[in-house]
């Protein structure tokens, strides 16, 4: 059955070692270097890694001096991350912790009580489910950030103009997904793994500004897909800020 897929089930069942990840973190590193330069006196910066998978990226960020909390819906991946990487000394502000949880939950995040300087959602908004889930995700991120806090998102872009395979996938799966540029990512045997949405820049911009963020910057890169290393795809890298106060919520 590939219609009525439940993204949460798809990701809960994924083998942690097979969770797709990007090998290059250069965009994320440049962004974090820039944030750190702007807040030299605030160390360690508190960072929330949403959809952290098996925690490998959270760990690298911790080693760079950030205090990191990683959340993922895949309990096996979170258990692996806790066993391999977690560092939590009582009272030490430089920590690395992991929680299992749904980052697109209507009820908010587990960490609602804590505010973060930076939230990261790498390769997450494209696979989170439907439009409601994307809006919930952004609402949860907004609530989790300090005023003036930063959000970094990477997202898959509509790629039919540079890759005919995507054109075919978008067309073939539209009947079931009922959303343009949403298709099923499959393994080599053709079995459906999860649902992916590819964004236009306008769509991303409007989703993020509607959630209340400002100072939105979107870069588009032509790269290869994490699961299709021989195939061209567009990726968007978004940075934006939570306004200092609701009144400053302007572009
Ligand atoms: C494409 S992977 C990216 C992993 C990691 N961010 C990276 O860049 O290596 C997407 C991750 O999001 C997680 N995920 C999907 N839906 C989720 C949800 N509703 N709540 C929490 N995590 C979710 C998946 O389990 C998976 O680990």
Span 21-49, pLDDT tens digits: 977 789 999 999 999 999 888 889 999 99
The pLDDT, as a whole number, for residue 5 is 83
Asked whether residue 163 is domain-assigned, the answer is yes
For tokens 């969770």, what's the residue?
Answer: 19
Q: Is the pLDDT of residue 197 over 90?
A: yes
What is the residue range of 194's domain? 7-14+46-244
Percent of the chain with pLDDT over 70: 95
Ligand 1 contact via 11 beta carbon (within 6 Å) = yes
Q: Is 207 in the pocket of ligand 1 (CB under 6 A)?
A: no
Under 8 Å between Cβ of 45 and 120: no
**Which atom of ligand 1 lies at the shortest distance from residue 53's CA?**
27
pLDDT the model gives residue 204: 97
pLDDT confidence bin for 4, thresholds 50/70/90: low
What pLDDT, on the 0 to 100 scale, is given for residue 2?
Answer: 55
Does the residue 71 lie in any domain? yes
Distance CA 251, CA 240 (A): 10
| pLDDT at residue number 111 | 66
Residue with more model confidence, 3 or 218: 218
Burial classification of residue 9, based on how many CB atoms lie within 10 Å of its CB (0-12 exposed, 13-18 middle, 19 or more buried): exposed
Cβ atoms within 10 Å of 113's Cβ, excluding its own? 7
Residue 62's Cα: distance from chain center in Å?
17
Q: Is the CB of 124 under 6 A from ligand 1?
A: yes
CB 219: neighbour CB atoms within 10 A? 12
Token pair in block for residue 128: 């989170």
Number of domains in the chain: 1
For a mutational test of ligand 1's pocket, the pick from 70, 105, 119, 124, i.e. the residue with the most ligand atoms closer than 8 A to its C-beta, is 124
* Alpha carbon 212 to its chain's center: 18
Atom of ligand 1 nearest to the CA of 49: 6
Q: With 90 as the cut, is the pLDDT of residue 240 above it?
A: yes
pLDDT in tens, 71-118: 999 999 999 999 999 887 778 889 999 999 999 999 998 765 789 999
pTM of the model: 0.94
* Domain CATH number, residue 239: 3.40.50.150
**Residue 178 is assigned to a structural domain of this protein:** yes
pLDDT at 3 over 90: no
The stretch 190-199 carries a mean pLDDT of 95
pLDDT at res. 248: 55
- Residue at 20 is within a domain: no
Tell me, using a 6 A CB cutoff, whether residue 243 lines ligand 1. Answer: no
Would you report the helix, strand and coil content of the chain in percent, each value rounded to 5? Answer: 30, 30, 40
User: Is 30 among the domain residues?
Assistant: no
Q: Over the stretch 141-178, which tens digit does the pLDDT of each residue have?
A: 999 999 999 999 999 999 999 999 999 999 999 999 99
22's CB contacts (< 8 A; 6+ apart) are: 122, 123, 154, 226
Tokens at residue 183, please?
């298709």
Which residues, other chains included, contact 221 with Cβ-Cβ below 8 Å and sequence gap of 6+?
Answer: 27, 234, 235, 237
Please indicate whether residue 78, judged by its CB atom, sits closer than 6 Å to ligand 1.
no
Return the higher-pLDDT residue of 54 and 5: 54
SS3 246: helix
24 domain-assigned: no
Mean pLDDT to the nearest integer, 128-148: 96
Can you name the residues that pair with 69 across neighbouring β-strands? 48, 97
| pLDDT number for residue 251 | 44
Query: Does residue 251 form part of some domain?
Result: no
Q: What is the pLDDT of residue 91?
A: 80
Which residue is listed with tokens 């995507």? 166
Mean pLDDT score, 122-132: 96
pLDDT (average), residues 122-129: 96
The mean of the pLDDT values for the chain is 92
Residue 128 inside a domain? The answer is: yes
Which of 145-149, 152-156, 184-188, 204-208 is least confident? Answer: 184-188
Q: 182-186 and 67-72: which strand pairing? A: unpaired
């Amino acid at each position: 059955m590939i219609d009525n897929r439940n993204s949460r089930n798809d990701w809960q069942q994924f083998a942690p070692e097979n969770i797709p990840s990007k090998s290059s973190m250069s965009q994320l590193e440049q962004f974090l270097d820039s944030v750190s330069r702007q807040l030299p006196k605030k160390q360690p910066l508190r960072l929330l890694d949403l959809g952290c998978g098996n925690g490998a990226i959270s760990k690298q960020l911790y080693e760079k001096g950030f205090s990191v909390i990683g959340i993922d819906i895949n309990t096996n991946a979170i258990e692996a991350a806790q066993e391999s990487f977690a560092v939590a000394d009582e009272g030490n502000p430089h920590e690395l912790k992991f929680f299992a949880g749904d980052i697109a939950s209507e009820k908010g995040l587990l960490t609602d009580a804590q505010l973060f300087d930076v939230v990261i959602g790498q390769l997450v908004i494209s696979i989170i489910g439907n439009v409601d889930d994307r809006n919930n995700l952004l609402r949860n991120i907004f609530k989790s950030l300090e005023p003036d806090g930063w959000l970094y998102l990477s997202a898959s872009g509509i790629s039919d103009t540079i890759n005919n395979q995507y054109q075919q996938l978008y067309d073939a799966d539209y009947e079931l997904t009922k959303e343009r540029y949403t298709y099923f990512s499959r393994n080599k045997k053709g079995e459906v793994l999860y649902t992916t949405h590819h964004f236009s820049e306008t769509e991303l911009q409007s989703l993020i500004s509607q959630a209340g963020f400002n100072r939105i910057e979107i870069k588009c890169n032509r790269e290869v897909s994490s699961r299709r290393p021989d195939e061209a795809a567009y990726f968007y890298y978004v940075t934006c800020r939570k306004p200092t106060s609701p009144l400053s919520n302007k572009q």
